[in-house]
Amino acid sequence: MKQLTTYNRAAGYLNKLFDLLNQHYFENALTRPTITIQSPPRAYGHFSLRPDTWVSANGTSHEINIGAGTLARPIENICSTLLHEMVHYYCYLHQIKDTSRNGTYHNKRFKEIAEHCGLLIDHDPKYGWTITHPGDDLLDFILENGLTDILINRNEYYGICVGGTGTHSGGTALPPPPPKKSSSRKYICPRCKNSVRATKEVHIACMDCDTPMVLEK
């Protein structure tokens, strides 16, 4: 198989993944939506509730989006996000209320159906049962089908960690940005434990103990 290093190959591959997951977990009950690769704020993916999100000469369709800046994650995470959105699609078709708060809070009904479909779901205090991981069944499915990683990714900055985009209900939450490294240094007196901070490397002594202060590791 050719490596998935171009946008067109990645887009085609996402459609293939949808078809495979649809057959395995939903018995082909889901009509293929328009699968997009865009950069929504603050989410790995989303499902659009509107059946006419996309319009063409052949009719209309829903949309499932996978965040462009998240494509190069391991394939099990891409499948988890896509399957997460397919669960929302299934719930929409069967009129199952799986979210609240304008589609951002995922309830226990969503968790139940998602875990039946090979996912592991953890709770987020703000967004409910939305944190998504691949379960053993999904991992076995990926291995059996020889699915491989997508090797292209949009270079993006970190977003704020939330689980929805407002169109419905988002996918799993984005990771928070890495902690910013402090620009100051802390020096401590080894005797009395008094401390001071400096923005550069300095040689300083504790006047109370007449002892050189040391840089905290």
Residue 199 — very low, low, confident or very high, per pLDDT cuts 50/70/90?
A: low
| pLDDT, position 151 | 92
Q: What is the mean pLDDT of the chain?
A: 84
Q: For 139-174, how does the pLDDT look when each residue is reduced to its tens digit (9 = 90+)?
A: 999 999 999 999 998 887 444 333 333 344 444 444
Strands 63-67 and 34-38: parallel
Domains of the chain and any CATH numbers: 7-144 (3.30.2010), 185-215 (no CATH)
Q: Is the pTM of this model over 0.95?
A: no
* pLDDT, mean of residues 52-61: 92
Strands 105-106 and 211-212: unpaired
| pLDDT, position 102 | 82
User: In this prediction, what percent of the chain has a pLDDT beyond 70?
Assistant: 83
Residue 216 — very low, low, confident or very high, per pLDDT cuts 50/70/90?
A: confident
Q: For 19-49, how does the pLDDT look when each residue is reduced to its tens digit (9 = 90+)?
A: 999 999 999 999 999 999 998 767 899 999 8
CA distance 28 to 22: 5
Query: Is the pLDDT at 17 greater than 70, yes or no?
Result: yes
Question: Where is average pLDDT lowest: 105-109, 133-137, 167-171, 188-192?
Answer: 167-171
Answer whether 67's CB lies under 8 Å from 43's CB.
Answer: yes
> Is 183 or 30 the better-scoring residue by pLDDT?
30
Q: Which residue type sits at 150?
A: I
Strand, coil or helix: what is 144? Answer: helix
| pLDDT, position 78 | 96
Strand, coil or helix: what is 215? Answer: strand
> Is 90 or 185 the better-scoring residue by pLDDT?
90
Residue 178 — very low, low, confident or very high, per pLDDT cuts 50/70/90?
A: very low
Residue 184 — very low, low, confident or very high, per pLDDT cuts 50/70/90?
A: low
CA distance 159 to 175: 8
Radius of gyration for the chain, computed over Cα atoms and rounded to the nearest angstrom = 24
